[in-house]
Amino acid sequence: MTLTRSSSRGLEPLLKQARFNGTKVVVSRGVRILTAEEEHPVSGRQLPSAIDQHAWLDPRNGVIYVRNIAEALSHLDPANAADYRARAAAYTTELQVLDEWARKGNHGSASRKAASAGVARFAAVHRECLRHHAASGNGWTNKNEPSAGGLARLARQIRTEHVKALFLDSITDPRTMQHIAGETGAVIGGTLYGDSLSPAPGEADTYLKMLRHDVSVLRAGMMAN
């Protein structure tokens, strides 16, 4: 069995090459997915209709992933269905506890400002507390580096909004963001994970640890604003 997210455009060619004949399950069925406009809310640009593929960064969506996985496994292996569902229930409780912890800790922080290297999608987890100024709104994505003009616009935005904390993406080259921090006087608040986990053993080497790490790093960084 192969588990896929809501869009498997990148995965389908690999499955064909591997001649995979097993069951494919879309585990993100039913989750709340960000649109491109929501992913880059302060870009000031007209964005095409699209969806952001990082639904798992919201623990409420994580609960749906868990349910879909457990039901798929139970259907394929009914003899062990009770075990799959019991484990899913236990894991769901852990996700709900984490979500409650994150929301209580973020209460009253709606005015905090932060900027990151292409990780505006983390607003899915911290929508109540984070007004996110994303570098990706200035031409920076995981696939391409920003232009000189884009960097200048980002630096001006950081100064204008008095953003004091910048965050790195674990899979993005940190040097450009470090340069912007030097120019603007902002500090690097830490590294966020979303597209990958940290190496094990590490600070974000499981899904639950990744979410808890990212919330903690964002919270500490936002306190500087």
**Domain 2-34+52-103 shares a fold with domain 108-222:** yes
- Under 8 Å between Cβ of 192 and 167: yes
Give exposure, 51-71, as e/b (b: 16+ Cβ within 10 Å): ebbbbbbbbebbbbbbbbbbb
- Under 8 Å between Cβ of 116 and 167: yes
Residues of the chain with pLDDT under 50: 6-7, 41-43, 110-111, 117-134, 136-137, 139
pLDDT at 37: 54
pLDDT at 197: 93
pLDDT at 5: 54
pLDDT at 161: 81
Q: Is the pTM of this model over 0.85?
A: no
Question: Given this structure, which CATH class describes domain 108-222?
Answer: alpha beta
Spatial distance between the Cα atoms of 154 and 106, rounded to a whole number of angstroms: 26
pLDDT per residue as tens digits for the range 55-95: 788 899 999 999 999 999 999 999 999 999 999 999 999 99
Listed by start position, the domains of the chain span 2-34+52-103, 108-222
Q: Within 10 A of 153 (CB to CB), how many other CB atoms are there?
A: 17
Superfamily of segment(s) 2-34+52-103 = Nitrogenase molybdenum iron protein domain (3.40.50.1980)
pLDDT at 119: 41
pLDDT at 202: 94
